[in-house]
Chain A
Amino acid sequence: METPDQRLFEADLLSAEFRAGSLKGFWGLAGCDVLPDQPAWPVRILWMAAAPRANAPDRYYVRLDLSGYRSVAPTGTFWDPTTKSILEISKRPKGKPDSRFARVFRTDSWPHSGSAFYHPYDRVAAKDHTQWPTEQPHLVWDSNHTIVDYLEEFHSLLNSGDYIGV
């Protein structure tokens, strides 16, 4: 039986904003070309397109824990469609040194390295950084935010000049 958070997420997949981005090839729900079925709720695998870079994929998959959606922000990280597991660091998208990109997708050691994004839209990272709502008030996740806000934020980074490939 579907839970309210799952119903809300699935309704948002049918929204004009999600569909419009999907139609443009910006993002989508992982299809049966990479996995026969989506994992059990509250986990979902989605993908975001990335700007062309030498020897880098044209899209990255993310494995998100969406429990409590939309009241609670997602958390998750890159996922490997080949191994069906968390994407190893050598295959993760990299940014120019000291860029915002490099910080958000940081692969150095921090308590949640490899399992969450260093960004206010990730509930695990946000919980540890109580100063972020003051410093970045426009990125405070609340129940008015949807999966499209999450995808648009990270899709923009993957298509920015600071993204250099893997």
Chain B
Amino acid sequence: MVNEELELFIHSYGRKPQMVRAAAHEVLKEVLIRVGLLKEGQDDMVFVGESEEVLTEPDEVEDGIDQHAPVDVLLTIDVLELRRHHHVHVHKCRHVAVEVNFNGRTKRHRFSPATTVGVVTRWARRKFKLEGAAGAEYVLQVCKSTKQPRSDEHLGELVEPSVCSICFDLVKEITPQG
């Protein structure tokens, strides 16, 4: 069991996620160095799993902040429970400051880079009272662009490490016509 190889999905800014195999006893830092996503002395933060904690945040909270913390990369895959989490995120930002605009109003939250666009969308629909079927057609579009990131993309893949923030508009998806 200890030598069993696990599939890990490694995420970082500006590149497609990478699938790597690692043994349960391997130290995470060594795995990340092996695949070229970490170098000795590099101070990037590493998160495991996918953060969904905003979905349980009380409605009245404004400008909230995720508690999802970076891990100690000197721990093993096994100890970090990557058998369950699978996803590993390497990023320079501790949080990604997200602004979502809708109908002239703005909602803000500081997310873990390990948060998917799908989770941010669900949070935004709730904040703007667009839950249920009425909100199903509302999606996030990067401000001043036509880019609508896929719901399985993570904030850490979208946000430049030097910026640590991103702005979205919540827009109604166009229904094909004609």
Partners in one complex: yes
The reply to whether B9 and A161 contact each other, CB–CB distance below 8 Å, is no
**Residue of chain B at shortest CB distance from A135:** B174
Measured between beta carbons, the chain A residues less than 8 angstroms from B7 are 19, 23
Residue numbers in B under 8 Å from A138 (CB-CB): 141, 146-148
Give chain B residues whose Cβ lies under 8 Å from the Cβ of A19: 7, 9, 19
Contact of A39 with B by CB under 8 A: no
- Return chain B residues, CB-CB under 8 Å to A148: 150, 152
Q: Is the CB of A17 within 8 A of B17?
A: yes
The secondary-structure label for the interface of chain B is loop
* Cβ of A104 under 8 Å from chain B: yes
User: Which chain A residues border B87 with CB–CB below 8 Å?
Assistant: 20
Q: Mark A75-114, 1 if CB is under 8 A from B, else 0.
A: 0000000000000000000001001110110000000000
**Roughly how many angstroms separate A131 CA and B177 CA in the complex, as a whole number?**
9
**B133: Cβ under 8 A from any A Cβ:** yes
A163 to B174, CA, bound (A): 17
Closest to B118 in A: A156
Q: Is A162's beta carbon under 8 Å from chain B?
A: yes
A-B contact count (CB 8 A): 77
Residue of B nearest to A160 (CB): B136
Query: Is there a chain B Cβ closer than 8 Å to A21's Cβ?
Result: yes
- How far in angstroms is the closest Cβ of chain B from A27? 11
| B175 contacts across to A, CB distance below 8 A | 99-100, 103-104
In B6-60, the 8 Å CB interface with A consists of 7, 9-10, 16-19
Q: Please state if B173 and A16 are interface contacts (CB–CB under 8 Å).
A: no
A residues less than 8 Å from B176 (CB atoms): 100, 103-104, 118-120, 125, 129, 132, 136
CB of B109 to closest CB in A, whole Å:
22
B86 within 8 A of A: yes
Chain B residues with Cβ below 8 Å from A54 are none
- Residues of A contacting B86 with CB < 8 Å? 20, 23
Chain B 109-146, CB within 8 Å of chain A: the 1/0 string? 00000000000000000000000111111000100001
Q: Is B104 among interface residues, defined by CB-CB distance under 8 A?
A: no
CA distance A23 to B84 in the complex (A): 11
Residues of A within 8 A of B134 (CB): 161
A131:B137 contact, CB within 8 angstroms: no
- Complex A-B: 27 CB contacts under 8 Å: A15-B17, A16-B9, A16-B10, A16-B17, A17-B16, A17-B152, A19-B9, A20-B86, A20-B87, A23-B7, A99-B137, A100-B136, A100-B137, A103-B176, A103-B177, A104-B175, A119-B176, A135-B177, A136-B176, A138-B141, A138-B147, A138-B148, A148-B152, A149-B150, A160-B137, A161-B136, A162-B136
12 new A-B pairs (CB below 8 Å) besides A23-B7, A129-B176? Answer: A14-B19, A17-B152, A19-B19, A99-B175, A103-B176, A131-B178, A137-B146, A138-B146, A152-B150, A160-B133, A161-B132, A161-B133
Residues of B within 8 A of A (CB): 7, 9-10, 16-19, 86-87, 132-137, 141, 146-148, 150-152, 173-178
